[in-house]
Amino acid sequence: MRINGKVALFIERFREQGGVVELVQSWDEALGLIEREARAAAGSIAIATCEIELLESIRDRLKGVSRLVGPRASPAEIASCSLGVSFPVAGIAETGSILEICYDDSDRLVSTLPPTHIAYLESSKVLEGLLQAAPLIRQASRQNAFSATLISGPSRTADIELRQVIGVHGPHTVKVLLKV
């Protein structure tokens, strides 16, 4: 498997920032990993808005494994989930970030409230530099309301005696399933 410069850089930097990257060859393989996580987490799974085929395949795969919540579930429901699955629109190599664009805030909560966040990203969507994200954000701004979030690892704080703690209000684990 050949991983080119910007994808390799994205992986390296996202990991350095405390994120996890697992490489998959297909959506099907990603589904297998999601199922494994779902079994381990033993709770409901929140899912963000995505293409209908992806949604249906995940629904099928998790039948009998975990309850699937969403897309567009209520905050309380999402808060009760142990895992959130989202679909970022890009990865940024320069900053080791993923870019999520949402048009409904319940989609944002999927990557914020559950303790584990899984993001499925195709490596063709990895961009070299931060500024290359700008056209995607500008395109989103054609809608009346949107949010674009660059996520560069799990939530963290060093507010008490500078001790680095991972997982504050956002997830402790952010895992990118990167299709290469």
The footprint of another protein (CB under 8 A) covers 13, 17, 72-76, 79, 94-97, 102-106, 108-109, 112-113, 130-131, 133-134, 137-138, 141, 143-163, 165, 167-171
Phi/psi of residue 172, nearest 5 degrees: -85, -25
- C-alpha to C-alpha distance for 61 and 70, rounded to whole angstroms: 15
Can you say whether residue 18 is alpha, beta or left, with left for phi > 0 and alpha for psi between -120 and 50 degrees? left
- Comparison of 45 and 113: residue with beta carbon closer to another protein: 113
For the record, the structure tokens of 66 come out as 């975990």
Instruction: Supply the minimum distance, in Å, between the C-beta of residue 114 and another protein.
Output: 12
For the bound state, the minimum distance from the C-beta of residue 99 to another protein, rounded and expressed in Å, comes to 9
DSSP class of residue 35 equals H
**Smallest distance from the beta carbon of 27 to another protein, in angstroms?**
26
How far is residue 123's CA from residue 36's CA, in Å, rounded to a whole number?
22
Between 74 and 124, CB nearer to another protein? 74
Q: How far is the CB of 144 from another protein (least distance, A)?
A: 5
